[in-house]
Structure 1
């Protein structure tokens, strides 16, 4: 006979379980974020002092054309990188979901393996591939040297930034897609094939709609960290490849303008909350739409 625990009558166990993560959340997330939020409504009153005056001047400055242009470029880079991650990650996740059980584990380890390596090391490895004397130009020079091949200029370009963003964040797309595809009722796919649908049509008309929640989660989980990425634009991009996270980093480090940096950071956070809210509303409407 199963026994249930009434947490209202025995709150000690509930508090013991909730207490440590709640304290961790408050001390290392909520309180620092509240401090940064306060800074966004402040002004510099000295070299190291910030006066929280309740001003909205930092947010007004963040909406100037210069910073809106950088934000728009960041959104464009993030959307493009997220779309490429979806186009590349969906076939990978589909292949893993339909792989034999003994091979599936190794494929998942291969997807998660980049997380075990420092991000800075991975970015420098990509530099070794993209630079003028790197792997790509070396292979092309070997194959096309007879035709007077000139090295491709890949480093310090917007293309290198997008490649770096996709390279770093692709696992964020593959894993939620795999989780959704692995739960699919495969009899529906078999029925579509039996009724004469091609494999491509079965994927587009059966698999993609059923994996909609996983696709939405993958898009959100990929887009948010891509939008906040600053290492790839800093190391792979040129002067015109700055993203909004690079501007935030420079406000805190070089310009020593913490209030403005905090306002830019929370502008990103507001956009993140809006994206999460849109996904929650879309997910909440799915059962009604299905009916």
Structure 2
């Protein structure tokens, strides 16, 4: 106690110490080992050796550039759709939900109580070739007689959007819930229409929620592999499928590790561009 009393400035650092130790053991050390693996050469049969094999990165980019592009494309489309679906939904809950707000929020979060795999498998039945959605679309003439939704990019994007929708909705709700309704009343008192009040008051004040929601949706969606594996075909495979296959099936650790670092680097680069576009204060708001 005497030591701490004399060195009060150490207190914040001592409180941070458990968290720093946790990150070091379970994040930095595995990340360092992954980087070490990405620069190895050899095979599983003959063994791997550390040879500063930077060509692993170039080989990964040149070989799997299609999967990398597809991953960011699918994640981007799913993020935009999730935003368009979630915003009006949580807007209504925040301003019109009344005493039922908590119930509606529970309904949004409820799918997270079911495992990710089960939620994705459910879409196999929803989009099945003989299911009600496909039959309805065929009846309306939107799909041909031999048309299908499964094993398409549409199915993969739909699965990603559904699985990550709560991660978009919750930050949006927090931002909208914190908006003082008196600001909207003041805007209307100053002869602003409903549309103008939304565009000039509600939308800017909810920007931190939009930024947080898009990040929480896009980042894990870019590395997803379950939806592409179950709802798509190899033609819809994403970079996550390649990494999973390299690690667990082909036992090609250097290629898998280098692809993992490439994916992380591209996501960080996209994050920096996004932060510059929307403003750092909104990213941290």
Same fold per superposition (TM over 0.5): yes
Q: What residue number does 1:23 align with?
A: 21
Q: Matched residue of 1:63: which SS?
A: helix
- Tell me how many residue pairs correspond in the alignment: 278
Give the TM-score, by structure 2 length.
0.86
- Say whether residues 1:120 and 2:132 are aligned partners: no
Matches within 5 A, 1:87-98: 87-98=84-95
Greater CA drift, 88-97 or 193-202? 193-202
Greater CA drift, 20-29 or 204-213? 20-29
- Say whether residues 1:207 and 2:202 are aligned partners: yes
Greater CA drift, 194-203 or 248-257? 194-203
Q: What residue number does 2:106 align with?
A: 109
Give the TM-score, by structure 1 length.
0.85
1:98-156 CA-partner distances (Å, limit 9, x unpaired): 13452111111111111111011111111111011224235667xx49xxx94751110
Distance 2:67 2:5 in 1: 53
Distance 2:266 2:134 in 1: 39
Q: In 2, are the aligned partners of 1:176 and 1:214 still within 8 Å (CA)?
A: yes
- Residue in structure 1 matching 2:55, options 54, 57, 68: 57
Q: In 2, are the aligned partners of 1:70 and 1:244 still within 8 Å (CA)?
A: yes
- Say whether residues 1:184 and 2:179 are aligned partners: yes
Alpha carbons of 1:105 and 1:194: their partners in 2 closer, same or farther (altered >3 Å)?
A: same
- Residue in structure 2 matching 1:229, options 219, 224, 233: 224
Q: Matched residue of 1:154: which SS?
A: coil
Alpha carbons of 1:6 and 1:262: their partners in 2 closer, same or farther (altered >3 Å)?
A: farther
Q: What residue number does 1:9 align with?
A: 8
Mark the runs of 5 or more structure 2 residues left unpaired by the alignment. none
Distance 1:263 1:111 in 2: 37
RMSD after superposition = 2.9
Distance 2:161 2:34 in 1: 30
Mark the runs of 5 or more structure 1 residues left unpaired by the alignment. 287-291
Q: Matched residue of 2:41: which SS?
A: strand
Q: What residue number does 1:266 align with?
A: 261
Q: In 2, are the aligned partners of 1:234 and 1:242 still within 8 Å (CA)?
A: yes
